[in-house]
Amino acid sequence: MPISTFALAMVMTVLSVWAIERSEDQRREGQARAAASVVATALDRRAHSYVSYLRAGSLMLGTRKDPTPEDFASIAGGLLDDADYHGALGIGWLPVLKPEQVPTFEKRMRAAGNESYTVHPALDPSRKMVVPIGFIADMNERNQPTLGFDSYSEPKRRAVIDQAIARRQLTASGPVSLIMQTRAGEWQGFLLYMPVYGPGMTDLPRGFISAPFNAGAFLSSIVVLEKIEDLEVRLYDGALESSRLIAQTGAQGAVMHPVATQALTLGGRRLLVAVDAPEGGLTRTAWVALMLGTTIALLLAVVARIVSRRAEQDREALLWLREQASIRASLTRELNHRVKNTLANVLSLIALTKRRATGLDEFVEGLQGRIRALSATHDLLTNSEWGPTALRDVVLAEVAPYTRGDDAAVALSGPEVDLAPNDALSLGLALHELATNASKYGALSVAMGRVEVSWAMAGEGVVQVHWQESDGPPVPALRSRGFGTDLIEKIVAHELGHGVQLDFAVTGVRCTLMVPVRAPVAFSIRSRQQNGQGKQK
């Protein structure tokens, strides 16, 4: 019962915690979906502001056949003054050249003030065109190494340039490594290419106005602005694949909840914003519910244990009361049986004593002696709880009045033998009659008289008890038959189930009794059987 109670309470606790966590998961999923929508909208808005600037710059540069550094600086400077600059690394001009035009272009750039300007990497004559970085607004140490880099030489940039020429409009790249060197290495980002066409140009553009973006800084600025730093936000190039990850920010490294996504389009390229809600284990509410539920489960188990223990004690007490009632009933039946037997014996003694008595005094004296004999044997049986009684004790109880200190008139000998209660009563009555007769007429009536009582096993389940008187008055040949003789030869013999040899020899009375030795089963409240009822042994 305590284990079942504890298990049930813990199941309810676990279900409660599961419901709380399920609710929290749904809340996090809703939070992630809302954050994904917010981030995607903010990215789209900021990216399209750059698109507008690049398109405006494209229109202005399209009117100049060979823009000078001063022309580009004036145009780009105006755009950058109005732009939200987070994440963008500047604006660059990339002319479209044929391989044979590269030396002339390098001389012109050096003459314009950049004495170390060189198109790199080495030219590949098989390529149809070269797209080097010519000018960069916001020129600094970080951007200086990018000047002269042939964007058409790198496969990813070449694919975007070809796509921008085919679309004749602004095009975004996938994830690329920016060539701006930092202490941590190259930055991961993406590029926007806006082709610049002059009047009447339909084949190749005059060049490209381009904006590189540090994707991590660009995404982080949105996350900080929208105040969702507790979530992980990732930006992918079209699909949720690790190889197409552009940028990542927020709770990086944490175990994440299922992704909420929101798509947007930038420069003809599909971008995907993914937002994850971190799972920090059980929530505080779930922990409180778990601890409280466990405590209640333990308390219920303790209470159930107390209740079950009390119920068990009550059952034991009830069984004990039932057993006591059974004992009292058995005792009552046993007492009733013994009393009836005793009264029957007393009535028999009264009847036989009356029949043989010649006067009231003789009747009283004989009856008192025989009742005392019954009482003495009853005392022995009571002391043994009406169980097996030693034969020696029965003999001693009947001849004790005739022993005289050290000069005992009665000698006893024989092995230790236990008798059943009824057999002990019968033997006691027989010995009482023999001792009474000996004290009145036989060996115990004179000082020199002796009585020897001996016994020995005479076979399986039978002990032979021998009474022998000696050195007493001669036994007369002619004598009247008394009650004691009838008691021994009829009643005692019947009770013991064996005949009695009683010989009134001249030298002294001899008597041999055969007493059964039954299985030594003590009188007790009978053992409980499997059917729950008592049975007497």
Contact indicator for 395, 431 with CB cutoff of 8 Å:
yes
Q: For the CA atoms of 359, 364, 365, 370, what is the dihedral angle to 10 degrees? A: 130
- What pLDDT score does 50 carry? 80
DSSP string, 256-295: BPPPEEEEEEETTEEEEEEEE-B--SS-HHHHHHHHHHHH
DSSP string, 426-450: HHHHHHHHHHHHHHHTSGGGSTT-E
- What pLDDT score does 465 carry? 92
Angstrom CA distances, 266 to 158, 187, 241, 269, stand at 18, 20, 19, 5
Question: Between vectors from CA 328 to CA 326 and to CA 329, what angle results, nearest 5°?
Answer: 65
**Of the candidates 137, 127, 121, the residue with the CA atom closest to the CA atom of residue 67:** 137
- What pLDDT score does 80 carry? 57
Per-residue pLDDT of the chain (537 residues; tens, 9 = 90+): 778 888 888 888 888 888 887 887 788 788 888 888 988 898 888 888 888 888 888 888 888 777 888 878 777 766 555 445 567 777 889 999 998 899 999 998 888 888 888 998 887 777 789 999 988 876 566 677 788 899 999 999 999 999 999 999 999 998 888 765 444 455 678 899 999 998 877 788 999 998 888 888 888 888 877 777 678 888 898 888 888 888 888 655 555 555 788 999 988 889 999 988 766 667 788 888 888 888 888 888 888 888 888 888 888 999 988 888 887 776 677 566 556 656 765 665 576 566 556 777 767 776 676 676 667 666 666 665 667 888 888 888 877 776 655 556 888 999 999 888 888 888 888 888 888 888 888 888 887 889 999 999 988 889 999 999 998 888 887 666 666 777 777 767 777 888 888 888 888 899 999 989 887 554 344 344 334 444 333
Distance in angstroms (rounded) separating the CA atoms of residues 162 and 348: 141
- What pLDDT score does 342 carry? 64
Omega prior to 388 cis, within 30 of 0: no
